[in-house]
Amino acid sequence: MFTSMNSLKEILAKNQEGILICILVVVTLFFRLYKLSSIPFGLNNDTSWDATAAVDMLRGNLSPYLPYAAEGWRGEPIIRLPAALFTLILGRNPMTVRLASDMFGIATIIPLYLLLRLLFNKKIAWVSSFFVAISGWHITFSKVGWQAIAVPCFSTLTFYYFFKGIRSNNIKNYILSGIFLSGSLYTYIAARILPLFILCLCIHVIIVHSKQFTHYIRSLSVLIGTFIITSLPIIYYAFNNWPNYVSRASYLNIWTPMEHQKTLTPLFQNIQTALLLFTHNANGNDFFISEPLLDQPARLLFPLGVAIALWYFLKEKKKAYGFMLSWFIFALIPGIVSTPNGNRAIGTIPSVYFFSAIGLVWVISLITHFFRGSVQKILSVSILSLVLLYGTIVTYQIYLGPMRRELPGLYPKTYITIPNLKPFIATHDIYVTDNYPRELLTYFLYTNGDPFYKNYVWMEHNREMLSVSPHTNRGLVFVMWDIPDNQPITDELRMKYPSATEQHIPYINDHISRPASILLIVPPR
């Protein structure tokens, strides 16, 4: 028996890293694939547009979407390409665009572990990656179909192969770093800062290794050359369509209000907002609005980790900590020069959870400082396990459990209404008022032909519905929010169409139960 126990211990010791990586993968997959079709509930308006674009691409209409959207604010194509592939496999299904973003979220975790193991050690690498695996911020953006989630994936891969190239002098790593750096330009506007950061790193490497100047110039030239060659499609597009390429950035940039007010106050306000995103207010429009981006315990540990990283960099002269701090600062810039929120700051995810991880590792080392030997090790593992288990439970409760947080940016009331409209498309004309997200309606009510064709008529004001004249042999369906302000119009429509039936659609989802929409259905004449 003792022999078998010793053998088991030896096996576990030899395969410790493999076991820990398996745990990391299982946790990552669980939080990103569990009930993917229904949690979070609904579909985002911008995501619906990308899903519709994927359908249109499969019809051979590629130029409005590749390498950049003809409607400039629709942006980069990274989600549309896999969404089109998944549409071929699954058909027109919301899962296609969710899977497209989810694959980038899942693909971030192991490269992050490898990068931090290369720069620091296995413990910091694993704890940081586990924090990302249970990050509600990262999980949410992975599952909702937003292209922004690809930014930390491509940036992590870029840096991993960059530093691997520095360590190994293998030219293949510089080529891969250049390819992934180029790939970042096809992800989301926040990634446009990454080439500048890499350029700064290249200059730093050349200065530090001045005695090997020729070698590093040659190696880093390979990286930059690879980047330029693989970026040619987006470079060519930007050169020939500059106003469209920068239209979204120009609309959001901070320089306009600064010039108008003739003061730096808007910039300072944005810096303050950006620094408070993680622990106080995420300042978002769709998913993280008034709540912070970080959940406990990462939220509590994050400021401590930043302080520790600063200490190691400034006092101990440890350059790896300086890199992580620089990564954090550069990744904050896109939000600072526009509007700081969870999507524009998404490039900070690897560095933010690294800070939380070193904060936790430091606290554990402080607690166990007075113990030695196996007692210290057992105590360290126990505290680490309990803290990470607590974080896992918190994440489950907030994002997956029965009392989970609702995400208004997924328009759940519209999502619950649409299945009730589909049966009427062939026989009724559908009229919609209020602020229903139109791209979402267009995607779900599509039947055939042009996927952007709207099988409904949207009206600015509900009183416009009173002037509708029915077509011969077709009925009418009037769609409104189920709110008191719409009841008078519903009553007037029922007087105009005595044969109409009124249907109230509730939004019921675990702990949520409230009115969603009113459908007034007028049968064909």
pLDDT tens-place values along the chain, 525 residues long: 556 656 656 666 678 889 999 999 999 999 999 999 999 999 999 999 999 999 999 999 999 999 999 888 888 999 999 999 999 999 989 999 999 999 999 999 999 999 999 999 999 999 999 999 999 999 999 999 999 999 999 999 999 999 999 998 889 999 999 999 999 999 999 999 999 999 999 999 888 887 777 878 888 999 999 999 999 999 999 999 999 998 888 777 887 777 788 788 888 999 999 999 999 999 988 889 889 999 999 999 999 999 999 999 999 899 999 999 999 999 999 999 988 999 999 999 999 999 999 999 999 999 998 888 888 899 999 999 999 999 999 999 999 999 999 888 999 999 999 999 999 999 999 999 999 999 999 999 998 889 999 999 999 999 999 999 888 889 999 999 999 999 999 999 999 999 999 999 999 988 889 999 999 999 998
Return the closest-CA partner of residue 140 out of 405, 438, 443.
Answer: 405
Return the closest-CA partner of residue 108 out of 164, 150, 143.
Answer: 150
Please give the Cα distance from 29 to 32 (Å, whole number).
Answer: 5
**Angle, alpha carbons 66-67-69 (nearest 5°):** 65
**Angle, alpha carbons 320-325-327 (nearest 5°):** 95
Q: How high is the pLDDT of residue 472?
A: 82
Q: Is 63 helix (H, G, I), strand (E, B) or coil?
A: coil
Tokens, residue 353: 């959870």
Q: How high is the pLDDT of residue 257?
A: 79
Q: How high is the pLDDT of residue 6?
A: 63
Q: How high is the pLDDT of residue 247?
A: 87
Q: Indicate the helix (H) or strand (E) that contains 173.
A: helix 171-184
Token match 């064909």: residue? 524
Mode of pairing for the β-strands spanning 501-509 and 457-458:
unpaired
Peptide bond preceding 40 in cis form (omega within 30 of 0): yes
Which runs of consecutive H residues, i.e. helices, occur in 192-297? Answer: 194-208, 213-230, 232-240, 242-245, 247-252, 255-261, 265-276
Sorted by sequence, the CB contacts under 8 Å of residue 492 that are 6+ apart come out as: 466
Q: How high is the pLDDT of residue 399?
A: 96
Question: Across the strands, what pairs with 477?
Answer: 430, 521
Query: Do the beta carbons of residue 455 and residue 430 sit within 8 Å?
Result: yes
Return the closest-CA partner of residue 368 out of 358, 378, 359.
Answer: 378
Q: How high is the pLDDT of residue 13?
A: 63
Q: How high is the pLDDT of residue 385?
A: 95
Q: How high is the pLDDT of residue 263?
A: 84
Tokens, residue 481: 């929010």
Nearest 10 degrees: Cα torsion 436, 438, 444, 448: 150
First to last CA, the chain: 84
Q: Indicate the helix (H) or strand (E) that contains 51.
A: helix 45-58
Q: Indicate the helix (H) or strand (E) that contains 505.
A: strand 501-509
Q: In what order do the strands lie in the sheet with 501-509?
A: 457-458, 428-432, 475-481, 512-522, 501-509
Token match 């292209």: residue? 147
**Angle, alpha carbons 458-460-464 (nearest 5°):** 90
Q: Indicate the helix (H) or strand (E) that contains 478.
A: strand 475-481
Please give the Cα distance from 184 to 153 (Å, whole number).
Answer: 9
Q: How high is the pLDDT of residue 5?
A: 57
Q: Where are the domains of the chain?
A: 2-399, 411-522
Query: Do the beta carbons of residue 252 and residue 338 sit within 8 Å?
Result: yes
Please give the Cα distance from 66 to 80 (Å, whole number).
Answer: 9
> CA 521 from chain center: how many Å?
39
pTM comes to 0.93
Please give the Cα distance from 180 to 223 (Å, whole number).
Answer: 10
Tokens, residue 492: 């007037």
Q: How high is the pLDDT of residue 470?
A: 86
Query: Do the beta carbons of residue 73 and residue 251 sit within 8 Å?
Result: yes
Q: How high is the pLDDT of residue 12?
A: 63
Please give the Cα distance from 308 to 513 (Å, whole number).
Answer: 46
Sorted by sequence, the CB contacts under 8 Å of residue 157 that are 6+ apart come out as: 111, 176, 177, 180, 183
